[in-house]
């Protein structure tokens, strides 16, 4: 027993020291900034989230890195100057802002920043080395590369065929990364044994993160979480859709599931 403990400690020690030396911008981002800043959200989703839905759709805690990178490009970079000088300019801005955040210095579009409180200072929470690493990460940030990384293909056609075949209802849960009620729903309601059993019996479930992926059937959400019940018809491509927005208690959600099953039987 004792020798195993020693080995674990040694292995852990190794892993830590290795990652300390090879710390990348992504490591620092994940460890410190990702609590609030999502890396990438498509431009049209951002637009929709703020201008149409006042941030209820994605419930962002902070502007995404892609948006900050865009603002830095437009406001801090000077195309007439060389890359080295531009990099210094951007680094200086970030190094200063994260320690002494102040709205007066903001480079963000006020149409977006008005939805957020001023960023809390990271003074004492980030080392000078990490500040330099994260500044370069932000300067080099390539939204397209991130977009590619996060695209999950949703084989909805397949899901639909399966639902038709098994005579099941498709239940889509639309969520967003920092959505507190999505988490509450997933951790409190959707784990309830009676709900798990009901879902297993009559439903095929899909979770779609609307900050990254499109909903099928041209569905859209104006708040998360939102639930879509999709009732397929046997032998036809037509579907009936019921939309239920919001987070629900176990009792209420079980009622909703039961009603959907009844509705399917009575159609």
Rounded to an integer, what distance in angstroms lies between the CA atom of residue 165 and that of residue 98? 54
Can residue 113 be called a binding residue for ligand HEC (CB under 6 A)?
A: yes
Give kind and range of the element (H or E) at residue 245: strand 239-245
Kindly give the pairing relationship between strand 169-175 and strand 203-209: parallel
Rounded to an integer, what distance in angstroms lies between the CA atom of residue 167 and that of residue 32? 46
Rounded to an integer, what distance in angstroms lies between the CA atom of residue 47 and that of residue 98? 25
Of 51, 47, 80, 93, nearest in space to 66 by CA: 47
Piece of the chain touching ligand HEC by CB under 6 A; list 32-40, 42-50, 80-88, 203-211: 32-40
Among 39, 57, 119, 175, binds ligand HEC (CB under 6 A): 119
Among 25, 33, 86, 163, binds ligand HEC (CB under 6 A): 33
The 125-164 contact track toward ligand HEC, x by CB under 6 A, reads -x-------x------------------------------
Considering CB under 6 A, how many residues would be counted as binding ligand HEC? 24
Residue 139, token pair as written in the block: 């300067």
What residues are paired with 174 via a beta bridge?
Answer: 208, 226
Rounded to an integer, what distance in angstroms lies between the CA atom of residue 48 and that of residue 147? 17
Least separation in angstroms between residue 25's CB and ligand HEC is 9
Can residue 58 be called a binding residue for ligand HEC (CB under 6 A)?
A: no
Rounded to an integer, what distance in angstroms lies between the CA atom of residue 224 and that of residue 173? 9
Residue among 106 and 211 whose Cβ is closer to ligand HEC: 106
Least separation in angstroms between residue 176's CB and ligand HEC is 16
Least separation in angstroms between residue 122's CB and ligand HEC is 6
Rounded to an integer, what distance in angstroms lies between the CA atom of residue 261 and that of residue 231? 10
Rounded to an integer, what distance in angstroms lies between the CA atom of residue 218 and that of residue 51? 19
Can residue 245 be called a binding residue for ligand HEC (CB under 6 A)?
A: no
Residue 121, token pair as written in the block: 């200072």
Kindly give the pairing relationship between strand 226-232 and strand 239-245: antiparallel
Rounded to an integer, what distance in angstroms lies between the CA atom of residue 139 and that of residue 158? 41
Can residue 9 be called a binding residue for ligand HEC (CB under 6 A)?
A: no
Among 62, 175, 221, 257, binds ligand HEC (CB under 6 A): 62
Can residue 76 be called a binding residue for ligand HEC (CB under 6 A)?
A: no
Piece of the chain touching ligand HEC by CB under 6 A; list 51-59, 117-125, 239-247, 252-260: 117-125
Piece of the chain touching ligand HEC by CB under 6 A; list 102-110, 157-165, 173-181, 217-225: 102-110
Among 27, 36, 55, 239, binds ligand HEC (CB under 6 A): 36
Can residue 98 be called a binding residue for ligand HEC (CB under 6 A)?
A: yes
What residues are paired with 171 via a beta bridge?
Answer: 205, 229
* Site residues (vs ligand HEC, CB under 6 A): 32-33, 35-37, 62-63, 68, 94, 97-98, 101, 106-108, 113, 116-120, 122, 126, 134
């Amino acid at each position: 027993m004792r020798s195993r403990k020693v080995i674990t400690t040694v292995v852990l020690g190794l892993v830590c020291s290795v990652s300390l030396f090879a710390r990348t911008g992504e490591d620092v981002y994940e460890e410190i900034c990702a609590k609030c800043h999502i890396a990438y959200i498509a431009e049209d989703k951002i637009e929709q989230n703020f201008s149409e839905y006042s941030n209820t759709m994605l419930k962002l805690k902070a502007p995404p890195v892609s948006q900050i990178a865009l603002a830095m490009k437009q406001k801090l970079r000077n195309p007439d100057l060389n890359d080295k000088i531009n990099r210094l300019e951007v680094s200086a801005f970030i190094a200063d802002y994260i320690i002494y955040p102040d709205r007066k210095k903001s480079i963000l579009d006020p149409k977006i920043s008005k939805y957020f409180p001023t960023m809390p200072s990271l003074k004492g929470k980030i080392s000078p080395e990490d500040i330099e690493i994260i500044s370069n990460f932000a300067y080099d940030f390539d939204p397209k590369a991130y977009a590619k990384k996060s695209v999950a293909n949703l084989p909805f056609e397949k899901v639909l065929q399966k639902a038709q075949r098994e005579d099941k209802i498709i239940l889509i849960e639309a969520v967003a990364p920092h959505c507190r009620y999505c988490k509450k729903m997933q951790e409190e309601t959707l784990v309830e044994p009676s709900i798990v059993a009901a879902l297993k019996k009559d439903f095929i479930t899909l979770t779609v993160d609307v900050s990254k992926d499109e909903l099928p059937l041209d569905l859209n959400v104006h708040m998360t979480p939102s639930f879509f019940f999709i009732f397929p018809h046997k032998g036809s491509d037509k579907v009936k859709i019921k939309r239920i927005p919001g987070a629900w208690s176990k009792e209420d959600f079980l009622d909703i599931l039961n009603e959907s099953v009844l509705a399917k039987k009575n159609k």
